[in-house]
Amino acid sequence: MPYRPTERTEARRAQNRERIVAAALEQLRDGGYSSAGVQAIAARAGVATGSVYRHFESKSDLAAEVFRRAAAPELAAVDEATADDGRSARERVATAAETFARRALAGRTQAYALLAEPIDPAVEAERLAFRRGYRDIFARTIEQGIERGELPPQDAQTVAAAIVGALGEALVSGATDEDALVETLVNFCMNALPATRDLVRT
């Protein structure tokens, strides 16, 4: 008779998997991907190294899962910052840029891991999806501004991609004056998106 896992067995398996992912997330926050070897993660989770491979086929699979888990709250925070709540598109983009920057600066090691740290192809694919997610959030907001006449017609996807690229590059530059950096980035976004009324005046 073939073995069929019980609900209790499956629950224990899920708990062990979550313990490993939680340990890997902590390791990522503390030391980036360079510190997140399977042995270090297993030790932190309190499991044998072999246990990690019972839940993930490879280190790359675990790294990709950890990237998704770490990236999701960051993306959600920027999405929330652009909520269509009566503010202008420029105000919402500025708030999103500040949110992106301050969250990255609050966890520089993790931010570097998510934005720029050299990693294997499986994680690089997740990074690309992550960046496209940010681009789409900014593009959607810009498109709404265009539709409402707040912003002049423009290629929202390209402008949004440029904003995301600039934010990421600046945030891994090693700048030490955080408030000045955030202010510069917000001003950059505002300058990149002049309001229609301001263009008419000139």
Q: Are residues 102 and 7 in the same domain?
A: no
Which range (1-10, 127-136, 177-186, 190-199) has the least confidence?
1-10
Q: Are residues 12 and 110 in the same domain?
A: no
Q: Are residues 126 and 175 in the same domain?
A: yes
The beta strand positions in the chain, using DSSP E, are none
Q: Are residues 43 and 76 in the same domain?
A: no
Q: Are residues 64 and 155 in the same domain?
A: yes
Cα–Cα dist 59/52, whole Å: 9
Q: Are residues 5 and 99 in the same domain?
A: no
Which amino acid, 97? A
- Residue 201 has what pLDDT? 57
- Residue 117 has what pLDDT? 94
Number of domains in the chain: 2
CA nearest to 171, candidates 98, 131, 130, 111: 111
Q: Are residues 52 and 68 in the same domain?
A: no
pLDDT digits (tens, 9 = 90+) for 47-84: 999 999 999 999 999 999 999 999 999 999 999 999 99
- Residue 85 has what pLDDT? 96
Q: For the residues 117-134, what does the mean pLDDT come to?
A: 94
Find the domain containing 33 and state its range.
1-56
